[in-house]
Amino acid sequence: MVVPQTIAPLAAGVAMLLVALFIEARLARSPLVPLGIFRRRSLVAANGIAVVVGAALFGMYFFISLYLQEAAGYSPLRTGLAILPAGTMTLVGSLAASRLVARIGPRRQLVLGPVLSAAGLLWMSFLSFGDGYWGHMFLPLAMFGLGIGTTFTPMTLTATAGVPRAEAGLASGLVNTARQVGGAVGLAVLATLAAGATRNSAAAGHAAQVALTTGYDRAFLVAGLLLLAAAVFALLIRSESLTGPVPVAGQPPVPPAVAVTGQPR
């Protein structure tokens, strides 16, 4: 049941967002975020993917840490070590992302990365109370981290592609903000769904740890499906639009190889 303590902050947030949009669109002489920037399909797509990536990223770390401590009985230190494969593979994916995007392009990589992460989350959505770490969590955590790591670079490239140099920083900032907003809102949604599934499982007579695991599974499932939707959303990006920032007058254009990799071939 939605309580007033939840409705009031949400309503206030929506109201402030509408006021900000009105000021930016009608009153500001030099708007902080010119709304015309959202006419670019690649920018909108990148921000939509960033919202989903943020929701999945925050949700995975939140729920897997709860599962390991509340259901599996891990200590905080052991939990941190157990989650380490996800962070390590995120680093590996981030380091490899620039070379990979130069080979397959941002669009394909924005499909590949979320699909790989979704596979890891969907695998974890079948967790049962008492399942072992090495057989049911280690590999999906690594898959999730690798997929997320390879997503950041093409997401930023897509957000800034075709944007004038003067607005490149704005476009990059928007996609980072979208990821943070997605993490906050997405985690709230996933937590609500998990709590509902846990409550229904407990009402059916299941043990507390089993009911908790059912809720965590629901969160992993929804987060995985959202990442699959993000991969489909990436297919809407037109490859010819990913040509790098638009130069301003008096500056030479950026060669495609530099726009994608940051280094000339």
Task: Mark out the alpha helices in the chain (DSSP H runs).
Answer: 4-22, 41-66, 76-104, 106-124, 133-136, 138-160, 165-203, 208-234, 256-261
Q: Which of the four pLDDT bands, split at 50, 70 and 90, describes residue 265?
A: very low
Instruction: Encode pLDDT of 14-60 as tens digits.
Output: 899 899 889 988 888 888 888 888 888 889 999 999 999 999 999 99
Determine the Cα–Cα distance for residues 182 and 186; give it in Å rounded to an integer.
5
Across 157-179, average pLDDT: 90
CA angle 128, 112, 257 (to 5 degrees): 150
pLDDT at 95 over 90: yes
Per cent of the chain over pLDDT 70 is 88
- What the block records as the tokens of 24 is 């930016």
Fold classification of 39-239 (topology level): Growth Hormone; Chain: A; (1.20.1250)
DSSP state of 48: H
pLDDT at 253 over 60: no
